[in-house]
């Protein structure tokens, strides 16, 4: 037997209705906020991610699924959705179109991580990107979109926000970080030693216990924001308050990807263990230009669908079950089955969810099967019924039966 690759999951028919529900809600919320769907390839040129996501991030240095194709090009399965959306936005000239461009996507993403609960190698994201708007009401809108989705799904999760400033204030902060970490250089992990040189902000994102212990007392970015970044952050807080979105300021949020500027945010929960971040995002004003486009501000986020489903399960949020068949038509013998087949076809054409037997079951076994499917009605056609042109319809919720003519079947079941 060939097994499923480590860190991936099948969504079985018994579970897929949950995915459809969450994805349906994500599309509904997207509509509410006037977001349009963008679909980009599952793989891109590796350079898009190394330049876009950042050379010093764990995602790029350790986690990408990268391979050479037969044309000797370096290709990578997308580890996240932002870089691909930005590439497409630039390549299709949307940067010259009507702004802001408000986009969403539902995608598989791939990261070679150590699998554990809530951490997979293939996972799925609902992501939102808003291109072209620089004011803090847009950052607030991104947060409100995520908040609306989470609330509509019945979850109580609070957003944590922070600002990591712009390249100007980051310079002063990086200097302060280097001064702080310099005495601890020997104690830092191998990766952090190189982060210290290349991108000190990444030191704050290290998962190693020793580094985390040292990080606790590191200087805080909020103390180093320039006047513009400070007032942007103040505006954001005011907009969130206006919209009635509760938030918490967490100066430790720096995010794991390099493209962020100013606002960063995360929705986390302790109910699903160590991998508690269900949604992460922020502003990334430099990325579009960095990937070859015009100067164009942007903000967005992504929700991890597996973590969302885990959280819904852990917190007892029930998901409306799949649609059940309205009617199961059982046939007693071969001729009756043929009639059942014919009526079933008519019902389906009219839009009634109907089912019949395909396994040559006995009438008793057909009833059992209809029950398993959760059919609301079971219509039985026996020899007598076939002669009289009727079927005996049993309402499975109250046990009552009545006779319904074959020619009235569609009329009878429509709207049941």
Chain residues that interact with ligand HAM, rule: CB under 6 A: 80-82, 111, 113, 118-120, 123, 125, 127, 129, 256-257, 277-282, 300-302, 304, 306-307
The helix or strand, by DSSP H or E, that contains position 68, with its residue range, turns out to be: strand 66-68
Which lies closer to ligand HAM via its Cβ, residue 154 or residue 219?
Answer: 154
Which lies closer to ligand HAM via its Cβ, residue 44 or residue 129?
Answer: 129
Cβ-Cβ contacts under 8 Å for 218 (sequence gap 6 or more): 177, 180, 181, 203, 204
Q: Report, in Å, the least distance between residue 301 CB and ligand HAM.
A: 5
Q: Report, in Å, the least distance between residue 2 CB and ligand HAM.
A: 23
Which lies closer to ligand HAM via its Cβ, residue 304 or residue 331?
Answer: 304
Q: Report, in Å, the least distance between residue 304 CB and ligand HAM.
A: 2
For strand 327-331 and strand 159-163, is the pairing parallel, antiparallel, or unpaired?
A: unpaired
For strand 327-331 and strand 354-356, is the pairing parallel, antiparallel, or unpaired?
A: parallel
Apex CA 293: angle with CA 290 and CA 296, to 5°?
85
Q: Report, in Å, the least distance between residue 214 CB and ligand HAM.
A: 23
Which lies closer to ligand HAM via its Cβ, residue 66 or residue 392?
Answer: 66
Cβ-Cβ contacts under 8 Å for 28 (sequence gap 6 or more): 152
d(CA 94, CA 389): 62
Which lies closer to ligand HAM via its Cβ, residue 55 or residue 333?
Answer: 55
Do residues 333 and 301 make contact, with C-beta atoms less than 8 angstroms apart?
Answer: no
Which lies closer to ligand HAM via its Cβ, residue 118 or residue 325?
Answer: 118
Residue found by looking up tokens 């398993």 in the block: 372
Do residues 282 and 262 make contact, with C-beta atoms less than 8 angstroms apart?
Answer: yes
Do residues 332 and 367 make contact, with C-beta atoms less than 8 angstroms apart?
Answer: no
Rounded (10°) CA dihedral 89, 95, 98, 100: 70
Q: Report, in Å, the least distance between residue 303 CB and ligand HAM.
A: 6
Which lies closer to ligand HAM via its Cβ, residue 172 or residue 254?
Answer: 254
d(CA 376, CA 214): 62
d(CA 244, CA 238): 10
Do residues 331 and 338 make contact, with C-beta atoms less than 8 angstroms apart?
Answer: yes
Nearest residue to ligand HAM, using CB?
A: 304
Q: Report, in Å, the least distance between residue 42 CB and ligand HAM.
A: 15
Which lies closer to ligand HAM via its Cβ, residue 239 or residue 301?
Answer: 301
Which lies closer to ligand HAM via its Cβ, residue 119 or residue 346?
Answer: 119
Q: DSSP string covering 315-358, please?
A: TT---PPPPPPSEEEEESSHHHHHHHHHHHHHHHHTT--EEE-S
Q: Report, in Å, the least distance between residue 121 CB and ligand HAM.
A: 7
Q: Report, in Å, the least distance between residue 89 CB and ligand HAM.
A: 12
Q: Report, in Å, the least distance between residue 280 CB and ligand HAM.
A: 3
């Amino acid at each position: 037997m060939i097994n499923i690759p480590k860190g991936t999951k099948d969504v079985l028919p018994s579970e897929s209705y949950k995915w459809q529900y969450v994805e349906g809600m994500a599309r509904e919320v997207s509509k509410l906020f006037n977001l349009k769907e963008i679909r980009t390839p599952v793989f891109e040129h590796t350079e898009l991610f190394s330049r876009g996501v950042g050379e010093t991030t764990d995602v790029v240095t350790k986690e990408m699924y990268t391979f050479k194709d037969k044309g000797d090009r370096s290709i990578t399965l997308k580890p996240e959705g932002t870089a691909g959306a930005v590439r497409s936005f630039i390549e299709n000239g949307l940067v010259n179109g009507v702004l802001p461009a408000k986009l969403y996507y539902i995608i598989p993403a791939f990261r070679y991580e150590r699998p554990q609960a809530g951490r997979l190698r293939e996972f799925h994201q609902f992501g939102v990107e808003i291109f072209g708007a620089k004011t803090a009401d847009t950052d607030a809108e991104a947060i409100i979109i995520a908040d609306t989705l989470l609330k509509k799904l019945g979850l109580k999760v609070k957003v944590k926000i922070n600002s990591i400033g712009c390249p100007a204030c980051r310079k002063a902060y990086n200097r302060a970080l280097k001064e702080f970490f310099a005495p601890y250089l020997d104690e830092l992990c191998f990766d952090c030693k190189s982060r210290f040189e290349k991108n000190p902000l990444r030191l704050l994102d290290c998962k190693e216990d020793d580094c985390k212990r040292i990080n606790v007392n590191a200087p805080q970015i909020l103390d180093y924001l320039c006047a513009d970044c400070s007032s942007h952050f103040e505006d954001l807080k005011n907009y969130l308050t206006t919209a009635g979105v509760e938030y918490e300021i967490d100066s430790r949020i720096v995010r794991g990807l390099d493209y962020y500027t100013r606002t960063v945010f995360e929705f986390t929960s302790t109910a699903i263990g160590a991998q508690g971040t269900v949604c992460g995002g922020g502003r990334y004003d430099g990325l579009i230009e960095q990937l070859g486009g015009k100067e164009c501000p942007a903000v967005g986020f992504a929700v991890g669908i597996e973590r969302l489903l885990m959280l819904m399960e852990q917190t007892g949020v029930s998901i409306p079950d799949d649609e059940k068949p309205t009617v199961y038509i059982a046939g007693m013998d071969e001729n009756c089955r043929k009639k059942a087949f014919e009526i079933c076809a008519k019902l389906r054409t009219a839009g009634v969810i109907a089912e019949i037997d395909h396994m040559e079951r006995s009438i008793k076994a057909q009833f059992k099967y209809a029950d398993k499917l959760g059919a609301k009605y079971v219509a039985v056609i026996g020899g007598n019924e076939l002669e009289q042109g009727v079927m005996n319809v049993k309402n499975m919720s109250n046990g009552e039966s009545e006779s319904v003519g074959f020619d009235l079947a569609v009329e009878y079941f429509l709207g049941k």
